[in-house]
Every structure is written in structure tokens, then in C-alpha cells.
Amino acid sequence: DAGITQSPRHKVTETGTPVTLRCHQTENHRYMYWYRQDPGHGLRLIHYSYGVKDTDKGEVSDGYSVSRSKTEDFLLTLESATSSQTSVYFCAITTGPNSPQHFGDGTRLSIL
């Protein structure tokens, strides 16, 4: 399914380093989301975007920033990674806030 691509798929890095994850879509969908998924916590929303340069915080936004300079790309940045940010990160896209979301295959991030 080539509509949404996350990169990298896996990354190992050290505490204190900056990390940027990329979500790329070819569907021209307006809404894009970043989630993290951890055992016992389910999917937790980090940040979302409802248009180019329009973003808002989710429930676990501390330590994360995002940018969306064009429709197809939504970047998630960890300015100074911490071990608590070790997780699997998912990007999702949709046509509307209540419409079904189409998810990427995830990025497994390990911070040592």
C-alpha cells in the first residue's frame, strides 16, 4: 500500500540526540497524525495537522515538535531524545477528523 510511507522504519540513537521521523503521503489528504504506541497505553496522539502549516497538540506532545510545509509531508522531531521516547511511532492520514484513518507501517525507535 503506497499511499503512506514512514521513514526510517527502524532507528537506534543515543539520549540527547535530535531525531526526525518523516511521514509521506500520496493521497492529498488534509489531515495527518502522529501517534506513539506502547504496551499498556494503546495509541496516544502526539500532534496532528489539519492543513499546511496548521498543527495542534495531542495528549502526549511534550518533547515533540512537528512541521508540515507541504501537503504530502508531516515531520515529527524529537529535539533531544530521551529513553522514555523509545516507542513505535505511527503516522495516519484521513480526509476528515471523523473519517477512517489510514496508517503507515510504523517506525520503531530505540533511544539508548
Cβ closer to other proteins: 9 or 70? 9
Cβ closer to other proteins: 30 or 65? 30
Residue 50 near residue 58 (C-beta atoms within 8 A): no
CB of 16 to other proteins, least distance (A): 29
CB of 7 to other proteins, least distance (A): 14
Cβ closer to other proteins: 31 or 85? 31
Cα angle: 27, vertex 76, 92; to 5 degrees: 35
Binding residues (CB under 8 A) for other proteins: these are 31, 33, 40-43, 45, 48, 50, 56, 58, 90, 92, 97-98, 100-106
**Cell 495528549 belongs to residue:** 59
Paired residues of 4 in beta bridges: 25
Cβ closer to other proteins: 10 or 14? 10
CB of 112 to other proteins, least distance (A): 21
Exposure class string for 69-94: b at 16+ Cβ within 10 A, else e:
eeebebbbebeebeeebbbbbbbbbb
